[in-house]
Chains A and B, each alone.
Chain A
Amino acid sequence: MNKEKVIVAEGLTKRFGDFVAVDHISFEVSKGEIFGFLGANGAGKTTAMRMLCGLSTPSTGKAIVAGLDLFKDAEKIKKNIGYMSQKFSLYEDLTIKENIQFYGGIYGLTKKQILDKTNYLVEHLHLQDHQNSLVRSLPLGWKQKLAFSVAIVHEPAIVFLDEPTGGVDPVTRREFWELIYDASERGITVFVTTHYMDEAEYCNRVSIMVDGRIEALDTPNGLKKTYNSDSMDEVFLKLARKAVRGE
């Protein structure tokens, strides 16, 4: 059975002057898939991700994201995706409840939907006692779990996660991945970058970028077999060491 494709990229390229940041990348991601997007610093991950989110216009190539053409419908794409990064996620000087309501409003949910979502998330994340606390006062791990929930508050087709677990304690890091599995089971496609190689193992498929190109793309087991390695860490080291360009 051919699964519904949520991202289809063909020869997607981004040049800055003479520098080719992303060099003809082509890949497909299915509905509900957890897709790991790996690469060394400077390999072109962020640029590629910004293009797929409709934040940066590709130089050449084609891409369909959430059924929409990246060149024609970049604005509509933004409504059908969620985004979260380690650096930017929530408003620190709003409370937990206010953040959920704010993002719900931004994504165009109705008042009733926002109310239901707020109640559901507060309960689901066990934040009942803290819903009126400022986000600033929360531990990082809680913030990141809340940020993820807020990024998918509008049940988008895809959520892009840029190093969502950096600096988070090991227990919370794993709880965070359970939220990812949950979202994926509900049919939300998860596109995630990480520097933790154990997390690469939790993805359905993983791509590894080297010097602006996708050098490898397969299931974690497939990659380990191809590169004759015991772990994703080893696979990554073998591939990323091939890089010629710096950051």
Chain B
Amino acid sequence: MVKSNSNNMSAVIVENIVKKYQIEKSEVVAINGVSFEVAKGELFGIVGPDGAGKTSLFRVLTTLLLADSGHATIEGYDVVKDYKIIRKKLGYMPGRFSLYQDLSVEENLSFFATIFNTTIAENYDLIKDIYQQIEPFKKRRAGKLSGGMKQKLALCCALIHKPSVLFLDEPTTGVDAVSRKEFWEMLQRLKAQGITILVSTPYMDEAGMCDRVALMQKGQILAIDKPEQINQQFKNPLWAVQASSMYNLLKTLKQWAAVTSCYSFGEYYHVVMKSEMYGEKEIKAYLLQYQFQDIEVKQIAANIEDSFMALMHTSHE
């Protein structure tokens, strides 16, 4: 149960939400008892692969989908009872582009402003930064915009009524590394204006850009905390290992009984050993038996992807 004194501080409270779908004859549990709170002004990330339940969760919280059980409130309002009030308070950018393709950039924006009983001029300050980048194309139809420009227009439309809570469903999926970086810089500026932001992403490395994250997999939350706190929970000794002939190295390490897991990370493998007994010297000695050359072994701290994979295994067991 949520403590009542925390309510004033929380923009979003989610309690034990469950959502199931019937697909043909089988039942799919999209959200399997999820609970968390997001503080006012927080930038909160929901990180997980496709099928984790991120979109269903966002649709429940944006009052577009009814949960089978559980409760949720946005700024103290219930997502079922008070949906009309909530819809005025939140901004939502769905994963799939859902503006009017045959209206121009400008027409889309003024349409959404009108719907929310406001004008572009009234809240221009909030979107100025982003809108200026697409303003040269304001007469262009939205359907003719490039992916990056569509994304910026959708964000402007989600912000035009100055929402207090903003939901962004996978805004960076399929976006290149440079544009992703720019998008997160944009979010930091919005956060500075006091908006509470919930953002979902399948890119683990984006967890580091959030104040707190929920790691999600198969409808469940594996961990919720500050990204650095989650990584500190990683208790097993972790080693980065490199050698000539990397694919052979992977096969060799995976067959070694002393190894718990071995995953590639860029130019290294991250290897979790079963015990502290195996240090740099032991790992090197083992690999030398198999004629590996240019062996490099160093102890490292876990990153969010290491943590996610370790938590995935625990939840399977």
Contact surface of A with B, Cβ cutoff 8 Å? 39-42, 86, 134, 136-137, 139-141, 163, 166-172, 174, 177-178, 181, 185, 195-198, 201-202, 220-221, 231-233, 236-237, 240-241, 243, 246-247
Contact = CB atoms under 8 A, between A and B. Distances in A.
A246 B149 contact: yes
Contact of B173 (A134, A166, A201): A166
Interface string B245-283: 001001000000000000111110000000000000000
B13 to A, nearest CB: 28
A166 B174 contact: yes
A102 B179 CA distance: 39
A170 B176 contact: no
B285 interface: no
Contacts of A170: 49, 204, 263, 305, 308-309, 312
Contacts of A243: 178
Contact of A247 (B51, B148, B305): B148
Interface in B300-315: 305, 308-309, 312
B26 interface: yes
Given A41-B147, A237-B181, A168 B49 contact: yes
B121 interface: no
Contacts of B163: none
Interface string B153-197: 000000000000000000001111111110000000000000000
Interface string B44-85: 000011110000000000000000000000000000000000
A171 B261 CA distance: 11
Given A139-B51, A198-B264, A246-B148, 19 more contacts: A41-B176, A41-B179, A42-B146, A137-B24, A137-B26, A166-B202, A168-B49, A168-B50, A168-B202, A170-B49, A170-B312, A171-B312, A181-B247, A197-B177, A198-B265, A201-B266, A220-B267, A237-B178, A237-B181
Interface residues of B, number: 35
Contact of B177 (A139, A178, A233): A233
B267 A41 contact: no
Nearest to B174: A166
- Central interface residue in A166, A168, A169, by most chain B CB within 10 Å: A169
Contacts of B23: 136-137
A202 B264 contact: yes
Interface string B227-260: 0000000000000000000010010000000000
B201 to A, nearest CB: 10
A185 B265 contact: no
B108 interface: no
A41 B147 CA distance: 8
Given A166-B202, A170-B204, A170-B308, A232 B173 contact: no
Contacts of A237: 177-178, 181
Nearest to A40: B176
Given A140-B51, A197-B177, A41 B247 contact: no
Contacts of A140: 49-51
A166 B170 CA distance: 12
Nearest to B146: A247
B211 to A, nearest CB: 22
Contacts of B204: 170
A202 B266 CA distance: 6
Contacts of B308: 170
Interface in B15-45: 23-24, 26
Interface string B209-240: 00000000100000000000000000000000
Nearest to A86: B174
A39 B177 CA distance: 9
Contacts of B305: 170
Given A41-B146, A140-B51, A247-B146, A195 B263 contact: no
A246 B305 CA distance: 31
B263 A174 contact: yes
A40 B178 contact: yes
Most chain A beta carbons < 10 A, residue from B48, B176, B179, B264: B176
